[in-house]
Amino acid sequence: MSDRDNSTAPVDPRPAGRSHIGVSCSFVCHDGEGRVLLHLRGPKARDSREVWDSGAGELGFGEDFEECVRREVGEEFGATALGLVQVGVANVRRTSGDVSTHWVSVQFAVLVDPREVTPSEPDRIGNLTWFGENELPTGLHPALPSLLARAAPHIGWSAVRT
């Protein structure tokens, strides 16, 4: 938990990442045996629907990066983060149609117990699947290859082509 008082945090009506830079924590969950957990982004995902992704969430006001990751792993996959390693920071800029987004994403590799993983947001996250290093599906989220490449040493992979 953070020792900051968030009760007076200003409310910004603009959607994060669209009208100003948003801050997120992205993560790839792994089982400690060389497999990573990916999911198909569902119809109510914020953007990039129907692509394979790992996990991410918007950093809350006053929230620490690690707190954000632990919260999101629980919300998205019903699991507890057993170990966290920060693997990088990325500028994620995309345009889809007439909407441009810009996120600064603090990236993590997260160890989880596969027996704890359960679908928890079916409209946003579907088809939870474990993949080995040479089993990745096609149709990855645009930011996922660079996250996997940075996390590779921490999940027991040799390398990931970006």
Judged against a pLDDT cut of 70, whether residue 47 lies above it is answered with no
The answer to whether 54 and 83 have CB atoms below 8 angstroms apart is no
Predicted TM-score (pTM) of the model is 0.83
Q: Dump pLDDT digits (tens) for 106-146.
A: 999 999 999 999 988 777 777 899 999 999 999 998 889 99
16-26 average pLDDT score = 80
Q: Which of 2-11, 15-24, 77-86 has the weakest average pLDDT? A: 2-11
Q: Hey, CA dihedral for 139, 142, 145, 147, is it positive or negative? A: negative
Q: Dump pLDDT digits (tens) for 58-94.
A: 999 999 999 999 999 999 999 999 999 999 999 988 7
Residue 13 Cα distances to 10, 20, 103, 143, angstroms: 10, 11, 17, 26
